Structure 1
Amino acid sequence: MKISYNWLKQFIDTDKNPEEISTILTAIGLEVESLEKVQAIPGGLEGLVIGYVKECEQHPNADRLRVTKVDVGVGEDIQVVCGAPNVAKGQKVVVATVGCTVYPNIGEPFKINKSKIRGESSEGMICAEDEIGLGEGHAGIMVLPEEAVVGTLAKNYFNLNDDYVFEIGLTPNRADAASHLGVARDIAAFLELPIKPNNLGDFKIKDNSFAIEVEVLDTDAAPRYSGLTISGLTVKESPSWLKEKLAVIGLRSINNVVDATNYILHDLGQPLHAFDADKIVGGKIIVKKCEAETKFKTLDEVERTLSADNLMICDTEKPLCIAGVFGGLNSGVTESTTNIFLESAYFNAVSVRKTAKRFALKTDSSFRFERGTDPEITVVALKKAALLIQEIAGGEITSDIFDNYPKPVAPFDVELSFEKVDQLIGKALGNQKITGIIKALGIEVGNETTTGLQLKVPTYKVDVTRSVDVIEEVLRIYGYDNIEIPQKVNASLNVSPKPDKEVIQNTIADMLSANGFFEILANSLTKSSYSENLDEAVKILNPLSSDLDVMRQTMLYSGLEAVAYNQNRRTADVKFYEFGKTYHTANGKYQEDNHLSIFLSGKVETEQWNQKANAISFFHLKATVDAILKRLGVVNLQSDEADGKDFEYGIQYRRGAKVLVSFGAVAKKDLKLADISKPVFYADINWDMLMMLVKSNKISYKEVSKFPAVRRDLSLLINEDVRFEDLKRIAVKTEKALLKEVNVFDVYQGDKLPEGKKSYALSFTLQDEQKTLDDKQIDAIMQKLIANFGKEAGAEIR
């Protein structure tokens, strides 16, 4: 937000220079991101002077040129060749002297040099309005009044003052500071200065001859609506002082009426809108919401389709303006306008924000209405704007002020304890100092005691509703830098819960990242079409769009969107993980669950010339899940087939009836929703349950055996329906003491085997903790294994 230094001084009398004001603003919470010296017009008319044309003769070598002698107040006349048709002897003119730079409205700046034009010497340039940025006229040179003094600097003659602009990084909660008045209030409170009051003594209503009838049908969206009519005005170019004020803060002049409303907006923070009163059909303004699908063309000539939630300013036939956001194409002020209806309203912040977001419109008005304007300033702004319009456009106020305010917004009642102020600030400021700052901020002190204050916070401080908010205001003005750092810091030691969830999460995140995974962070808001059960979904009361109307119930779809986003940008091989939450409602209560999701798609490795790039499979995902569980010491889980709702195929690990992990290939219907054509493998880990299992883990240690382990292999011919898990169970049951590990290292099925058969090659690791195993013991164990495999699984030795 841009704030003008000279404009601020219209509200406060201070001798602080711009650099000092910049420091003050940053110290009190209005951070100045930049401070820039600006000129009302480019170049500031440097090097331009007022001259007098003493002679004007026809150029001997050009029909359209004149050779003039001009007195510029330096004692010696200069010769200037001029092509303007209206140049004549005896005129007072603006002269650009040799060495200065001229900044025209159109084209690049250029330097004035001594030159010869068609053989005649020229030592400057007699200027037109548009050639020096003072206007749009180019029919001829500027001719000044007779009283203009020769030799006067043009910047002094036109009363151009250098200004400084503060670029303030306004935080969303500081709606009260979204104007020059609001910023001046804070500076005044810090410097203990008064704010100059608005001079509205000249406001007079001529009669009620051209009153526009107003009907407010939606007082929730428009709690206060004020307006009046001004008749007989003339729409034209704004005076130079007004154009200069707006130009300094980056606004383009449009016409005197529109410029006046923009001036008041940045002056007081109250948005206004001027309607051509003669275009208001039926002589009546109706504030209401239109029917859904109503078409409305805005000032930018774009036709927009309204919803039933958009508050509109209408006449008896059609909508005229999107309330608080943007005006209509056919109801605004033009050069032919002579009568206006001037609106000053207080609109509901949520209503304006939803409308602005719906139409992707961001205007100076919506910026302020969305954050909250002051309901008590609408009439003040209306009167000040009316006086300004009368000053620069003429006209008379021909209606009483209409002011619909059925439920006045009361100031916030706050009880403030001096003890709490000292406690939160960390320093005893003293009751008198606290009270002084509060009064300087414009907060009304009702009852004052030795222990605290009864306060009424003005309505323009929309973010100050609690005692802690008032304390923050006090601290801002007192100064954060004035709170000393204590020499001694007291702290209590707390026992952290074990295991530390953050440490565990970081451990797994580091492990995944080290194995080529990238962490993603998705929005918890998602579209309702992704919801597993809408009745249990956490719905957003005021959604920004239909794609962000519920909280996610699963981590699946946000991850698939990330996969699709990357694959659509030629990053086909993805390995993602995300720690996040899902949200549900159960028995009228909200429930949040922590999850870890993993996504795999594409190839295992990048393409290489010397090896084939293998596609990621279900088993790569299983290996990742098993590695996580093993790293955390979670073992002895039951496994079965995963629920087919989200998976084409997959398995799940559970402890009892509770599912800890579900993983597998994502179902085709879900891939289609995310517009993904390639297989995606997904794991969902219930992180809360995993933390409970980790917490219940009992860590035991044992000495590394001094005696060597022995490996033996067997090749078994078995039926096709026999699983490795079946063989492992038989082996463990056969030899519980010495068998340490069973593994399958080869599987074969083919025409060399009998029909319905397959071959498993198993390895067995044997170890005795007390002594070295001998061949006799090993052979005995292997014979028992062979016998039991044959008896229980029908296995034959190959």
Structure 2
Amino acid sequence: MKISVNWLKEYIDINLATEALGDALTAGGLEVEGLETIESIKGGLEGVVIGEVLTCEKHPDADKLSKTTVDLGNDNIVPIVCGAPNVAAGQKVVVATVGTMLYPDGGEGFKIKKAKIRGEVSMGMICAEDELGLGTSHDGIIVLDTDKPNGTPAAEYFEIKNEEVFEIGLTPNRADAASHVGTARDIVALTGEKLRMPSVEDFKVDNHDLPIAVTVEDTTACPRYSGLTISGLEVKESPEWLQNRLKSIGLAPINNVVDVTNFVLHELGQPLHAFDADQITGNQVIVKQLPEGTAFTTLDGESRKLSDKDLMICNAEEGMCIAGVFGGEKSGVTEGTTKIFLESAYFSADSIRRSSQRHTLKTDASFRFERGTDPNITVYALKRAALLIQEVAGGQISSEITDIYPTAVEDFVIPVTYTYINKLIGIEIPKARINQILTDLDITLQDISEEGFTAIVPPYRVDVTRPADIVEEVLRIYGLDNIPLEEASGTDYLADFPANYPQNNERKVAEILTANGYYEIMTNSITNSNYKAEVKEEEQVKILNFLSEDLDVMRQQMVFNFLEVISHNHNRRQRDLKLYEFGNVYFKEENGYRQNSRLAMAITGNFEAENWINPSRPVTFHDLSAQLSKIFEVFKISKLKTEKISNEIFAYGLQIGTRKQQLGYVGLVQPELAKQFGLKEEIFFADLDWDAIMALVNNDIVFEAVSKFPEVRRDLSLVIDKSIDFAQIMEVAQKSSNNLITNINCFDVYEGDKIDAGKKAYALSFILQDKNKTLNDKVIDKTMNKLQSSFEKQLGAVIRQ
């Protein structure tokens, strides 16, 4: 956002140097990202002065040249050869002295040098309008009617002022400051100076010759709509002062009517629109939605398909403007326009934001409407613009002001205590100073007592709705730099650091994953509402002031963020990925909201980079599930149950949990889901409920003596149905072993033509150990026979010899 310092001075006295003002604004929350000096005339007419032609005679060797002597002041009389036909003795003229740079076309320019022209010395140049950049005329030199002394700088005579312009990085919450008056309001609080609002006392209705009826069908999307008509105006080029104001902030002047609406927009922050009244069929303005798919051509000449949710400004027959976003090609003011309908409205931020995003139209008006404008300024802005239009385009105000405002937007009422303010800031600020800061910020204080007050905040401050926001207002004006930092800081409470402190456990897991080649990522908690796999729409937490259609809800799943990251990396030829993230998911509930911490992981591509000793291989489900096992082992979480799953996210996978609760999922991402992100490779994804895992963490260290008795290994080969998984084998073995089996491992799996179709063969190893005595063959054989029998009876297994 560009803010002109000279323009600011129209509304407030500024006694600070420009750099100091920029520092103050930055400290107050309006970050000045740059300061630019803009010359209304390139070079600023430096070296150009007023001179007086003392003598003028024909050049002896050139019929079209004159030889003059010019008084430049301070007894500096110089010879100048001039080619203008209107030069004459006694004239006051504008002279570019030797060494001056001139930029007649705004380009690189040229330097005035001492020269000889046809044998006569010339020490300067008597200038025409176009040579100075003051105009386009080259019919002759500029002849001045002035009593100013010779040698007076031309910049002083022509009142040439350089514009100092701030580039302010406006944060989305500070829509109130998106104008010169809005910025001036902060300067009031920062400096104590008074705000001067432009007067509209001279506003009056001249006649009632151009009545236009206004109907608002959707007062939710358009809570307030104001308008009036002006007739008999002349559309032409704006006066120089108005053009210079717009140019200073990077806007190109268009015509006097449109320039006034742009001027008031950047002055007050209230967008306006001027409609050619002759294009308003039926003399009716109707604020409503049009049917889905209605064709509408905007001012840029592009035909667009409307949504039935787009708020439109219509006449009796058709749409004229996408409300608050962009005008239609028939609504614009042209050189032939003689009467207008001037609109000043307050639109719902949600409605404008959606239309702006839907049609990818970003305008100065939509920028402000979608962040929140002032519902109480529409009529004032209307009067201000009408008076300016009369000043620069003539005309008569030809209707009363129409102001449809069925339900007033209420102020924010916020009770606050001084104790609360001082506690959050960390020091005690005098009550009188607190009151003064808030009053200077246009916040009314009621019910003031020794304990606190009630703040009445105008609705244009959309970011001040809670006591904490009041504290922020006090602090940003009082100054963060004025809050001392003590050598030893303390608090009025002791924080509880439990043994299972989540950050410590996160670090522990992060170290394990990083050591195993995983990279931590950090993704946005705000996501796209179109990502709907395994998402309950009624539980979505929707963003009220989202700035992008792609980022409009809080996420309920981590998988979509991972697919975006993987797609981004694949597009940059990074295909072997191991990723993890600690993040939150969010849900709307009947009585509020719920936040749940998750640990998500994903792998894709090859398990490790190819090298000379080990061939590369694709990652598998077991590479990821094994990583989960390590995490559960770290926190001593055992006796886990698994269940097969297949849903919108997982083509196949496991649900992991205990008897009482789910702990997470791991599996292969559905190929169709991956394709939505341009991914064809297999992607294995795990999503763990970090809060649930933390509730089960056991950090107690338990010591157990190493057994003195040896282990025994026995192997079995089973042929079983494909439908039977390893977890079922584990469950049968544990029930049949009398606690003698301490470990079971699958070291080979076979499926092929050497066994029956629908079957698979597991090669298993069993470690047996008795902690109290040495196992003998009789006990071992009895245990293994019982195990084989259980496999045969419960799983229908065939024991391969």
Fold similarity call, TM over 0.5: yes
Name 2:512's counterpart in structure 1.
511
Q: What is the CA–CA distance in structure 1 between the aligned matches of 2:269 and 2:155, rounded to whole Å?
A: 31
Counterparts of 1:645-724 in structure 2 under 5 Å? 646-656=649-659, 658-695=661-698, 699-704=701-706, 719=719
Deviation per CA, 1:329-348: give whole Å up to 9, x if none. Answer: 33222233333332222222
Cα drift, residue 30 of structure 1: 2.7
TM-score w.r.t. structure 1 length?
0.85
- Cα distance 1:212–1:420, how it changes in 2: closer, same or farther (>3 A)? same
Counterparts of 1:93-242 in structure 2 under 5 Å? 94-105=94-105, 107-114=107-114, 123-125=123-125, 127=127, 129=129, 131-135=131-135, 137=136, 140=139, 143-147=142-146, 151-242=151-242
Does the Cα contact within 8 Å between 1:647 and 1:664 map onto a contact in 2? yes
Does the Cα contact within 8 Å between 1:735 and 1:781 map onto a contact in 2? no
Deviation per CA, 1:625-655: give whole Å up to 9, x if none. Answer: 2222222222232345334664444444432
Q: What is the CA–CA distance in structure 2 between the aligned matches of 1:265 and 1:751, rounded to whole Å?
A: 79
TM-score w.r.t. structure 2 length?
0.84
Counterparts of 1:597-636 in structure 2 under 5 Å? 597-608=600-611, 611-636=614-639
Deviation per CA, 1:454-476: give whole Å up to 9, x if none. Answer: 55434443433444444443444
Partner of 1:660: helix, strand, or coil? Answer: strand
Counterparts of 1:432-447 in structure 2 under 5 Å? 432-447=432-447
- Cα distance 1:236–1:48, how it changes in 2: closer, same or farther (>3 A)? farther
Q: What is the CA–CA distance in structure 1 between the aligned matches of 2:731 and 2:389, rounded to whole Å?
A: 93
Q: What is the CA–CA distance in structure 1 between the aligned matches of 2:754 and 2:290, rounded to whole Å?
A: 80
Deviation per CA, 1:115-168: give whole Å up to 9, x if none. Answer: 577888765555555554434x26555634444855432211210123432333
Q: What is the CA–CA distance in structure 2 between the aligned matches of 1:686 and 1:748, rounded to whole Å?
A: 34
- Cα distance 1:591–1:182, how it changes in 2: closer, same or farther (>3 A)? closer
Cα drift, residue 546 of structure 1: 7.0
Deviation per CA, 1:433-453: give whole Å up to 9, x if none. Answer: 444444433334455445444
Name 1:299's counterpart in structure 2.
299
Name 2:496's counterpart in structure 1.
495
Q: What is the CA–CA distance in structure 2 between the aligned matches of 1:692 and 1:551, rounded to whole Å?
A: 25
Q: Letter of the 1:463 partner, please give it.
A: D
Q: What is the CA–CA distance in structure 2 between the aligned matches of 1:335 and 1:414, rounded to whole Å?
A: 50
Q: What is the CA–CA distance in structure 2 between the aligned matches of 1:198 and 1:316, rounded to whole Å?
A: 36
Name 1:637's counterpart in structure 2.
640
Counterparts of 1:266-665 in structure 2 under 5 Å? 266-485=266-485, 489-520=490-521, 521-528=523-530, 530-532=532-534, 534=536, 537-538=539-540, 540=542, 552-583=555-586, 591-608=594-611, 611-643=614-646, 646-656=649-659, 658-665=661-668
Deviation per CA, 1:714-755: give whole Å up to 9, x if none. Answer: 666665669988998898889868865554556789999999
- Cα distance 1:95–1:313, how it changes in 2: closer, same or farther (>3 A)? farther
Partner of 2:377: helix, strand, or coil? Answer: helix
Partner of 1:664: helix, strand, or coil? Answer: strand
Q: Letter of the 1:500 partner, please give it.
A: Y
Deviation per CA, 1:296-330: give whole Å up to 9, x if none. Answer: 22222222222222222222233222222222233
Partner of 1:259: helix, strand, or coil? Answer: helix
Q: What is the CA–CA distance in structure 2 between the aligned matches of 1:387 and 1:422, rounded to whole Å?
A: 46
Does the Cα contact within 8 Å between 1:210 and 1:398 map onto a contact in 2? yes
The answer to which of 501-510 and 748-757 deviates more is: 748-757
Q: What is the CA–CA distance in structure 2 between the aligned matches of 1:793 and 1:439, rounded to whole Å?
A: 82
Does the Cα contact within 8 Å between 2:246 and 2:252 map onto a contact in 1? yes
Q: Letter of the 1:605 partner, please give it.
A: E
Does the Cα contact within 8 Å between 2:709 and 2:772 map onto a contact in 1? no
Name 2:795's counterpart in structure 1.
none
Q: What is the CA–CA distance in structure 2 between the aligned matches of 1:640 and 1:456, rounded to whole Å?
A: 57
- Cα distance 1:530–1:375, how it changes in 2: closer, same or farther (>3 A)? closer
Does the Cα contact within 8 Å between 2:656 and 2:663 map onto a contact in 1? yes
- Cα distance 1:205–1:4, how it changes in 2: closer, same or farther (>3 A)? same
Cα drift, residue 620 of structure 1: 1.6
Partner of 1:244: helix, strand, or coil? Answer: helix
Deviation per CA, 1:471-503: give whole Å up to 9, x if none. Answer: 443444333434445677344334323312222
Residue 13 of structure 2 corresponds to residue 10 of structure 1: no
Structure 1: stretches of 5+ with no match in the other structure:
none
Deviation per CA, 1:88-135: give whole Å up to 9, x if none. Answer: 556765443332223344533443444577888765555555554434
The answer to which of 310-319 and 585-594 deviates more is: 585-594
Cα drift, residue 599 of structure 1: 1.8
Does the Cα contact within 8 Å between 1:531 and 1:552 map onto a contact in 2? no
Q: What is the CA–CA distance in structure 2 between the aligned matches of 1:309 and 1:461, rounded to whole Å?
A: 27
Q: Letter of the 2:70 partner, please give it.
A: D
The answer to which of 430-439 and 228-237 deviates more is: 430-439
The answer to which of 114-123 and 146-155 deviates more is: 114-123
Percent identity, aligned pairs only?
45
The answer to which of 28-37 and 743-752 deviates more is: 743-752
Does the Cα contact within 8 Å between 2:70 and 2:77 map onto a contact in 1? yes
- Cα distance 1:782–1:421, how it changes in 2: closer, same or farther (>3 A)? closer
Cα drift, residue 203 of structure 1: 3.2
Between the two proteins, the alignment pairs up a number of residues equal to: 786
Cα drift, residue 46 of structure 1: 1.5
- Cα distance 1:130–1:769, how it changes in 2: closer, same or farther (>3 A)? farther
Deviation per CA, 1:508-559: give whole Å up to 9, x if none. Answer: 2222222222233254533446333656542648687776666555433443
Partner of 2:296: helix, strand, or coil? Answer: strand
Partner of 2:285: helix, strand, or coil? Answer: strand
Partner of 1:307: helix, strand, or coil? Answer: coil
- Cα distance 1:514–1:104, how it changes in 2: closer, same or farther (>3 A)? farther
Q: Letter of the 1:401 partner, please give it.
A: I
Does the Cα contact within 8 Å between 1:173 and 1:463 map onto a contact in 2? yes
Q: What is the CA–CA distance in structure 1 between the aligned matches of 2:330 and 2:399, rounded to whole Å?
A: 23
Name 1:26's counterpart in structure 2.
26
